[in-house]
Amino acid sequence: MTEELLRAERTTVGYHGVPALRDFSLSLSAGEMLTLLGPNGAGKTSALLSLVGLLPLMDGQVTALGKPVGKRFPPYALARAGVSLVPDDRGLFPGLTVREHLRLARRRPSKAREEAVFERFAALRSLRNRQVGLLSGGEQQMLAIAKALLAEPKVLMVDEMSLGLAPKVVQEMLPAIRAMARDEQIGVLLVEQHVELALSVADRGIILNHGRTVLAGPAATLLDRRSEVESAYFSSAESVEPHGR
């Protein structure tokens, strides 16, 4: 049986007491790639933050690697246990070089591990000694993901990987992440704006709108039902059905 790495059960999270995501459920297994889609303000980032314990739950429960996320399993402990989040600002330091970032990810990365990551993101190899502030957006994104992968995560979450990137770069990076997820049994959760591309590499998709799950299912099915996906994107707050509450 495939190992379940992450589970959200009917969670509600928000800001200053106002829910931004309601009744949200998700399950992510080893080697699986799940994409979280939806228009601006739908609640995608809030979902990611809640899964790593950075946004407290108003209701429901999140379980990561078999343990409830909360005071006894806080964000730093999740990161140390292998639940990794690449935020949409990439979390890089402009003054440090590529190599220094990779050292930050892991004090002594094995040569084999470094090689495996460079093989997936070949463009980084020749940039090893360059300062991150001098890299292009795509190269920085590649580094942010390479850094996360170097630490051998069990779960990798990437917020808006394609933000500001040329479609060609996204087309190269998504399959690279897909392959690494499958080969190393990493559970991957991607928040994406490139709907078709994300669904073409993911196993399953969840579409959020106005803080609710409006459509979910196997990625191939969602790709076949483009008109439903489109309506899910354009549904108004009034038409978003509460899930059983």
Which positions touch ligand ATP (CB under 6 A)? 15, 20, 38, 40-46
What are the phi and psi torsion angles at 18 (to 5°)? Answer: -100, 120
Q: What is the smallest separation between the CB atom of 62 and ligand ATP, expressed in angstroms? A: 15
Q: 18: number of CA atoms within 13 Å, CB side?
A: 4
Q: What is the smallest separation between the CB atom of 92 and ligand ATP, expressed in angstroms? A: 19
Q: Give yes or no for a contact between 242 and 70, defined as CB atoms under 8 angstroms apart.
A: no
Beta strands in the chain (DSSP E): 4-15, 18-29, 33-37, 57-64, 67-68, 83-86, 155-159, 187-191, 204-209, 212-218
Give the residue with the Cβ less far from ligand ATP, 23 or 114: 23
Give the residue with the Cβ less far from ligand ATP, 35 or 46: 46
Give the residue with the Cβ less far from ligand ATP, 97 or 209: 209
Q: What is the smallest separation between the CB atom of 174 and ligand ATP, expressed in angstroms? A: 18
Residue 137 to residues 56, 112, 127, Cα–Cα distance (Å): 31, 27, 13
Q: Give yes or no for a contact between 50 and 191, defined as CB atoms under 8 angstroms apart.
A: no
Give the residue with the Cβ less far from ligand ATP, 15 or 95: 15
Q: Residue 221's CB: how many other CB atoms inside 10 A?
A: 14
Give the residue with the Cβ less far from ligand ATP, 57 or 176: 57
Q: What is the smallest separation between the CB atom of 182 and ligand ATP, expressed in angstroms? A: 26
What does DSSP assign to residue 74?
-
Q: What is the smallest separation between the CB atom of 11 and ligand ATP, expressed in angstroms? A: 13
